[in-house]
Structure 1
Amino acid sequence: MEIDDKIIYLICFFEELFMKYGMDATLAIYLNLLINLVILSMVVIAVNYLVQNFVIEGFKIFTNRTKSTFDDFLIQSNFPKYVGRIPPLYIVYKLIPLIFAEFPLALKIYDKLFTFYVIILVIWIFRSFLRTTRNYLKTREEFNDKPLESFSQIIMIFIWVIGLMFVFAELTGESVGSFLISLGAASAVILLIFKDTILGLVASIQVSVNDIVRIGDWITFEKFGADGTVTEINLATVRVQNWDNTYTTIPTYSLIADSFQNWRGMQESPGRRIRRSIYIKQNSVKFLNYDEIDQLKKISLISPYLENRQTEIDKFNKNNNVDKTLLINGRNQTNLGIFRKYADAYLHEHSAIHKEMYIIVRHQAPTEHGIPLEILCFSRDKRWENFEYISADIFDHLIASIPYFGLQLFEAPSGDDIRNYLSQKTNN
């Protein structure tokens, strides 16, 4: 007797036994069905118990002895648990059609339910493996700045779509191709319902492919009040931890639809830019005579420059017979020009300034607030707090140096200034 014949004999054993003792055939069939289902349930429970307690526990022992952490993440995501459901499911797949052989309607319902469960189980297994891969890659340094959450969500969406297509095909009796044709016909409605999800999907792909934002990037997004480090990128949102330790959530689509500032270039460059202006009163700018220049030669940073520059200017004026009884004639040095040279020399001597990057001290167009003297250079230390200390140190020194050159800073008059002026005018 073949194996299948033996199984059929065992399944029909109680039915034949009951009928042998004179039981009604219909009742014998139903009692036989009930007994077979109870036995099958016990077998499935027993097999499931063995798989869960021996196979899975054995897998855990194996993973504890391996150096790789990938298998540890497999256990955390319940991958062995889901795979362990396959053996009892196989037993059900083999025996249920034989048990329900005399119940075609019930067998048809069983086929549908079994197919649905298999589809869901396959999706769970894929999801578990995907989570394992994502969590494992997060431990690898080369993937620290990659939007792994977004990648995994995109893949899961495709897996669920494929699974739902098979469920639809099973429910309707149509092929997957027919489902895709129906999906195309309803695409307008689907686009309307899932607009945000689709936009997020497209944005996630563009953000990842074009490397617009990485985890760990410092971004500034004024529209959403975000100014801090990107901590998470997923399908729908980007999470930013601001410098005050608050969190801002930005729709992923906004990263490609709106303008924002990513400071990654600064972080990857050798230095961080310092760019700030000092406003000089225009009426404090003047030509310098010899006595004033001699006084400024005591400043060690610009003493060599003044010596060489004044020699060059005197030679030019002498060769061209310039009348120097009037200071404006010929070539001259101004206090603003010398201060500009002093600021440049100071930056070149400053130990915190990167000498191989731009160091520029320049005039900008005069404004109602005076003459902007812009300082542009790069700090070696890019850390925010140290950068601010360096910037403050530079401008503390330059602002304090201005009076030595006979210059004045512009400052809008305050209420006290106006009251003092009116008081002096009244007294006079």
Structure 2
Amino acid sequence: MDQELRTGIAHWLTSIGIDTQPSDGISSAIMVVACLVIALAAYIFVKRGVVTTMNLVIQRSKAHWDDIFMRHQVLEKMAVMVPVLILNILMPLALNDHKVLSSLSDRLLDVTIVVLFVRAIYSALDAANEIADYNLVSRRLPIKSFVQLAKLFMFFVAIIISISVLADQSPIYFLSGLGVATGLVMLVFRDTILGFVAGIQLAANRMVSPGDWIEMDNFGANGTVEEVSLTTVKVRNFDQTLTMLPAYSLTSGSFRNWRGMSESGGRRIKRAVQIDIQSVRFLTESDMRSLSKINHLKDYFSSKSAEIITYNAQVEDADMYVNSRHLTNLGTFRAYIQEYLTQHDKIRKDMTLMVRQLAPTELGVPIELYIFTNDTRWEYYEGIQADIFDHIFAILPEFDLRVYQGPTGADIRSLRH
């Protein structure tokens, strides 16, 4: 194709009286200079005319993706190819009488075109990756891994084509030699190959995406995924340090992804208050009159009192606590916390909402809250949790309950006296 184009240009130049086969060095030099001038003029026209005009159109456009292409200077890098393409066509005509120089310049220009083409494609791929990040496509697919793989593939193709052009051999000749070096390639690019395969698995199963909060104790990672590349996953920990995880470690090992929590809109609180067993007792009539004034317990006392009166009426010697049913301060406290959380505006009502008593231990009776907040942001979640337990600790004396605390050194010494 190039030869046909050169022949056509040569016939056209001959028809207008220009000698396309100069016989002396001065004529050849003049032709070379003329080629350079034409190439420079073409570059100026494309750069300041076509590219500048298109950039103005892009700036006025409401679309965002074209601004990203302009920021990565894709058009500018493609414009650089224009003068090289012109030189690649015209230089053999100017150096027609100098076969060695003509062949050398032709090969060098061919390699330059390959390099500039790959450079422009690299910029286009970077722009496409940024567009995918902007449109959140990277949260579903490992776009950066595909981009890096495409760059790696194009790099090897460019190297093979460049060597074949310089050596004046068919690229197939060099490609056939890759079979012998397959073992070496597998060894050198082991992490790249494993990372790519892992990237496909991560994407297919939606195991991890940029923006996810993951924990991987083996590598000390606990933070937000910033980047999923061909070989590594970059995690910014909550202490602002960075952890680089091998991509294949996420498929070969275990890790925790908190994305489900974020997408559900509810974050779990699972914490217990240790109640001193010695403070647990039955409620007296005076206690019931006092506690029944609490708004969150009015319905509870109304239903429970009727139920207990009905039950005790059928029991002999109901005046003995062991024979009859009675309310306890701990059970009433659980009922209060249940109703308090049900009415709390920061707690999800459509998710598990439970106040339960766990098995007693040497630290007392655990009363555990198993609930979900409606705000998953860490700082707000911690604030909601702290407010709830502040209220619980402050309200315990109203039920004549105490939080268990282990004896201190001073307490033990006081017992000895």
TM bin, normalised by shorter chain, reads 0.7 to 0.9
The root-mean-square deviation of aligned C-alpha atoms, in Å, is 3.2
SS in 2 for 1:399: helix
Q: CA deviation at 1:165?
A: 3.8
Per the alignment, residue 10 of structure 2 pairs with 4
CA gap 1:64/1:281 in 2 versus in 1, 3 angstroms? closer
Give the % identical residues.
35
SS in 1 for 2:273: strand
The 5-angstrom pairing of residues 249-398 of structure 1 reads: 249-288=244-283, 290=285, 292-319=287-314, 321-398=315-392
| AA of the residue aligned to 1:382 | T
CA gap 1:284/1:125 in 2 versus in 1, 3 angstroms? same
After TM superposition, the structure 1 stretch with the greater mean CA deviation from structure 2, 126-135 or 163-172, is 163-172
Q: CA deviation at 1:344?
A: 0.9
Q: CA deviation at 1:253?
A: 3.4
SS in 2 for 1:253: helix
Per the alignment, residue 35 of structure 2 pairs with 40
Per the alignment, residue 186 of structure 1 pairs with 181
The structure with the largest alpha-carbon Rg is 1
Per the alignment, residue 412 of structure 1 pairs with 406
Distance between the aligned counterparts of 2:329 and 2:149, measured in 1? 64
The 5-angstrom pairing of residues 130-279 of structure 1 reads: 130-140=125-135, 142-143=136-137, 145=139, 148-170=143-165, 175-177=170-172, 179-279=174-274
CA gap 1:309/1:40 in 2 versus in 1, 3 angstroms? same
Per the alignment, residue 83 of structure 2 pairs with 88
Contact 2:338 2:354 in 1 (8 A): yes
Distance between the aligned counterparts of 1:210 and 1:149, measured in 2? 17
Contact 1:287 1:328 in 2 (8 A): no
Q: CA deviation at 1:5?
A: 4.1
Distance between the aligned counterparts of 2:390 and 2:160, measured in 1? 69
| AA of the residue aligned to 2:83 | P
Q: CA deviation at 1:203?
A: 3.0
CA gap 1:50/1:421 in 2 versus in 1, 3 angstroms? same
Q: CA deviation at 1:392?
A: 1.4
User: For structure 1, which runs of at least 5 residues remain unmatched after alignment?
Assistant: 16-27
Distance between the aligned counterparts of 1:210 and 1:404, measured in 2? 52
Q: CA deviation at 1:169?
A: 4.3
| AA of the residue aligned to 1:397 | H
Q: CA deviation at 1:374?
A: 0.8
Q: What TM-score do the two structures reach when normalised by structure 1? A: 0.82
Per the alignment, residue 121 of structure 1 pairs with 116
Q: CA deviation at 1:103?
A: 4.2
| AA of the residue aligned to 2:332 | I
Distance between the aligned counterparts of 1:191 and 1:143, measured in 2? 30
CA gap 1:65/1:312 in 2 versus in 1, 3 angstroms? closer
User: For structure 2, which runs of at least 5 residues remain unmatched after alignment?
Assistant: 1-6
Summarize deviations over 1:113-154 as a string: whole Å, max 9, x none. 2332222122122122223333344444x5474654444323
2:397 to 395, 403, 419: 403
Q: What TM-score do the two structures reach when normalised by structure 2? A: 0.84
CA gap 1:124/1:33 in 2 versus in 1, 3 angstroms? same
Distance between the aligned counterparts of 1:173 and 1:367, measured in 2? 84
| AA of the residue aligned to 1:328 | V
Contact 1:289 1:327 in 2 (8 A): no
Q: CA deviation at 1:409?
A: 1.7
Distance between the aligned counterparts of 2:267 and 2:365, measured in 1? 25
Distance between the aligned counterparts of 1:360 and 1:353, measured in 2? 11
Alignment length (residue pairs): 407
Distance between the aligned counterparts of 1:379 and 1:326, measured in 2? 43
Summarize deviations over 1:162-205 as a string: whole Å, max 9, x none. 33343354456665555555334322221221222223333333
Q: CA deviation at 1:228?
A: 3.5
CA gap 1:307/1:91 in 2 versus in 1, 3 angstroms? closer
Contact 1:316 1:331 in 2 (8 A): yes
Distance between the aligned counterparts of 2:313 and 2:223, measured in 1? 61
Distance between the aligned counterparts of 2:19 and 2:167, measured in 1? 35
Distance between the aligned counterparts of 1:356 and 1:6, measured in 2? 81
Distance between the aligned counterparts of 2:345 and 2:49, measured in 1? 66
